[in-house]
Structure 1
Amino acid sequence: MRPITLSGNMPRSFYRGAGRIDRFRGDPPKADPYHPEDWIGSVTARAGAAPAGLSTLPDGRSLAEAIAADPERWLGPEHVAAHGADPAILVKLLDAGERLPLHVHPDRAFARTHLASPYGKTEAWIIVDAAPDAAVHLGFARDVAPEELAGWVGGQRVAEMLAATNRVPVRPGDAVVCPAGVPHAIGEGILLVEIQEPTDFSLLLEWEGYDIEPEAGHLGLGFDQALGCVDRASWDAGRIEDLRRTRRAGRGVRPGVDRLFPEAADAFFAAERLRPDPYGVLDPAFSVVVVVEGAGTLESAHAEPVDVRAGHTLLVPYASGECVLRGEVTAIRCRPPV
C-alpha cells in the first residue's frame, strides 16, 4: 500500500479561522471563515453531526470503511490486537482566527462512566505558526472550589475564569501536551497540528460571543454533572513545564527522527519531528504525516515514491512498510501509542 496524499476535510465549526490552513495548503481562500479545522485521516465524526469530520479517500471510500475491510494491512496486527479496527487517534490542523473559548475534555474514566466511550480526550499541540504575542491558556494557576467554578460558568464571568488560568506563550516548533480534564483555550493567531484521542467531547466553560448555544456545551449531561470532569487543582509553573519539556532520549530515535512530547503522552498517542539528515526513517505503522516546510519525497517499501511539499497531509498505512523521507523538508508524524 502506498502513502496517500489527502485533500482537506474541514467541517464547519462555531469559531473562526483566519485562512491559515488554506494558505498553508496553497488552496484558494474560503469565503466562510467558520472552517478552522482540517480533520486528517479521520474515522471520528463531529459530535451530533455525522458524517461531518469523516475522511474520504481518493477512491471515494470513507477511511472508516477501508480500515474495517482490511484492518491489519491498515493498522498492523499488534495494533488490531490492542485496539481493534480503530486507529485510536484523531489528527487535525487547527487555525485559531480568534481565541477559542475556555473548555475541558473528559478523561477516560469519566467518558466510560458517563459517555459510554473507552476514550476521553487528552490532546497535544505542535505549533506550526504563531503571532509574536501568541499564547495558550492551560490549567488553573490556583485551586478552584466547585462552587466558584459553577458560579463562573453559570454567570459567564469569563474575565475571572481566564485570570485564574496560566497564560503560556508559544512559538513555532513548540510541542505541548494538554491532559484530559485541564481547562484550556488556544489563543488567536496560532496554526497548529493537534493529535488527540478519537472523540469530539468538549465541555464549554465559555460560550458567550460564539456561534453556539450553552446546551451544546455540557456533553448532554447538564452542567452540574459535566463540571465533575474539570481538573480544578493548581497547575503551577513546574507542572506546566512538564507538559512542554523536551522528551528524555527523544533525539535521534531513528535516522532523521526526533520523538516529541514527554512520557505523559505515551498512553494516548505519539508524534515525531522528521528532518532528513540526509534521510528520515519511518518504521512500519499507521500514521498521519503533515509536511510543514520544504519539499522532498516519501519512499515506501512497496510502491513508487510520493512527492511531498509544505502543506501536504499524508496517510501512511502499516502495509506501506518502512518508509524513507528525503529532501530539504520538515514534517510531523502522528501515530497511535507505541
Structure 2
Amino acid sequence: MSSGDRPVLLPANQPRQFYRGGASIAALRGDASADFGPEDWVASTTTLYGRDDAGLTVLPDGTLLRDAVAADPTGWLGAAHVAEFGADTALLVKLLDAGQRLPVHCHPSNAFASAHLGCRHGKTESWIVVGTSGPEPTVYIGFRDDVTDERLESWVAAQDTDEMLAALNPVQVAAGDTVFVPAGLPHAIGEGVFIVELQQPTDFSVTLEWKGFLANADIGHLGLGYDTALECVDHSGWAKTLDSLIRRTGGDPAEVVNLFSEQADPFFRADRLQVSGSLVLEPSFAVLVVLDGEGTLGDVPLRKGSTVVVPHGAGEEVLNGELVAIRCRPPRVAG
C-alpha cells in the first residue's frame, strides 16, 4: 500500500457525468478526449452522490487513495490536520471543462448537510479559471436581487430556465480569475470555461434547473424533496457585493500568487506557482496541477498536464524547472 512519504503522479480520473465537455482536459493532459469526461477528480477520496466507488482515485499501485490515507493519516495529512479532521483530506480538487452551460444549482452548507444528509461537510467551492473558449466566457453567480421563497419555488416547479438564469449575475471571466462560491449561492458555469475547482469533499448539489440535464427531479433534490432542499438556497441579492467573491490574478508575476482571500481559509487554499529555477515547498498535504512547462518535484518528473498528490510526510520538497502549477491545499488549521 502506498505510504505518505513521497509525491505520487496520478492518472486521469473522469467519472461519467450528465453534461458534455472534456476537450480542454484532454488537451492539457495530452490524452484522447472523452464525450462525457468534463471532470477529472484529482486525489479524490469522494464518490459521486449515491455511488459506492465512482470518483475515487486509484493510486499507481492499485490502492485507493482513501484507503492509503485511512491506513496512515498522519503521514498523509499531518498531525494538526488529523487532530481537526481525522483521516479526512477535507478537500476535493477537480479539473472541470464546461462543454455546455451547466444547470443553475447550489450546494448545502455544513449545517444543512449535518442536519439532513448525515455529513459534516457541505460543499463550499472555488473556481480557478485556467482557460476559456468562445467570444464571451461567462459564469453566473448569485441572485441579482432578493428572491422570495414563493418566486423560487415557482421557478423550480415550472422549470422556468429563462427566469432562473436571468435572475443571476453574469460575470465574464478570463484565465487567472478566481471565484469563491459559498454554500447556498445559486450558480452556473457557462460553456467554454475551464477551471481547477477546489471544494469540500462531497457531491451534494441541489439542482434548481434539472429539466434537460437530469433524468428526474428526485436526483435534483438529493432525495429530500424540494420543500426541504430549497431551504439551503441563498435568496439574497448579490449585485452590490459580487466583487467580494471575485479576484483577477492573471497579470500577477509573483513566484507564488495566493489565489483566494481569507474567506476561503476554513475550506481550502490555493496558490499559483510560477517557477523559473527552484522553489522550496513547506510540508503539507497538497494537490499539484501543472498548467505549463516542465520540471521535477523532488525526483518526480513533471510536465504540462501532470497531476500529483503530495503527502505531508514527504516533508520539505523542492520544485525545479520552468513551469506554472496550481498548488491546492486543505483548510488552514492551527499547529
Specify the alignment match of 1:56 in structure 2.
58
Matched, 1:196 2:199: yes
Asked if structure 1 preserves the Cα contact closer than 8 Å seen for 2:177 and 2:247, the reply is: no
| TM-fit CA distance, 1:120 | 0.6
Gap change, CA 1:244 and 1:281, over 3 Å in 2? farther
Q: Which residue of 2 aligns with 1:224?
A: 227
The corresponding residue for 2:318 is 324
SS at match of 1:276: strand
Q: 1:288 aligns to what?
A: 287
**For residues 262-277 of structure 1, what are the structure 2 equivalents within 5 Å?**
262-277=261-276
Match of 1:13 in 2: 17
Look up the match of 1:81.
83
Following TM superposition, by how much is the alpha carbon of 1:18 offset from its aligned partner in structure 2, in angstroms? 4.3
Secondary structure, counterpart of 1:245 in structure 2? strand
Please state how far the C-alpha of 1:246 moved relative to its aligned partner.
Answer: 6.2
Amino acid at match of 1:242: S
Match of 1:137 among 131, 136, 140: 140
Amino acid at match of 1:127: V
Task: Identify the residue that residue 160 of structure 2 maps to in structure 1.
Answer: 157
Identity within the alignment, %: 52
Alpha-carbon distance between aligned partners in 2 of 1:74 and 1:2, rounded to the nearest angstrom: 9
- Give the letter for the 1:275 counterpart: Q
Q: Is the Cα–Cα contact under 8 Å of residues 290 and 304 in structure 2 kept in the other structure?
A: yes
- Aligned counterpart in structure 2 of residue 96 of structure 1, from 89, 95, 98: 98
Moved more, 123-132 or 139-148: 123-132
Matches of 1:259 and 1:211, distance apart in 2? 36
1:116 deviation in Å? 1.1
Question: Matches of 1:281 and 1:181 in 2, distance apart?
Answer: 37
The residue that corresponds to 2:328 in the other structure is: 334
Deviation at 1:281, TM superposition (A): 2.5
Amino acid at match of 1:320: A
In structure 1, how many angstroms separate the alpha carbons of the residues matched to 2:180 and 2:215?
26
1:153-192 pair list within 5 angstroms? 153-192=156-195
Q: Relative to structure 1, is the Cα distance of residues 153 and 49 closer, same or farther in structure 2, using a 3 angstrom cutoff?
A: same
- Alpha-carbon distance in structure 2 between the residues aligned to 1:133 and 1:190: 10
Q: Are the counterparts in 1 of residues 176 and 248 from structure 2 also a CA contact under 8 Å?
A: no
Distance 1:242 1:297 in 2: 36
Within 5 Å, which residues of 2 pair with 1:111-130? 111-130=113-132
Find the aligned partners of 2:110 and 2:279 in 1 and give their Cα distance. 34
Residue identity in the other structure for 1:13: Q
- TM-score normalised by L of structure 2: 0.94
Is contact 1:13-1:34 (8 Å) kept? yes
* Residues 263-301 of structure 1 deviation map (CA, whole Å, 9 limit, x = unaligned): 1111101011111243223210111000011111112xx
In structure 1, distance between residues paired with 2:262 and 2:244: 10
Kept in 2: contact 1:289–1:313 (CA 8 A): yes
Stretches of structure 2 that go unaligned for 5 or more consecutive residues are none
Which amino acid in 2 is paired with 1:95?
Answer: D
Aligned partners of 1:292 and 1:330 also within 8 Å: yes
Task: Work out whether 1:147 is the aligned partner of 2:166.
Answer: no
**AA paired with 1:240?**
L
Do the aligned residues in 2 keep the contact of 1:244 with 1:262 (CA within 8 Å)? no
1:307 aligns with 301
Retained in 2: the 8 A contact 1:246–1:261? no
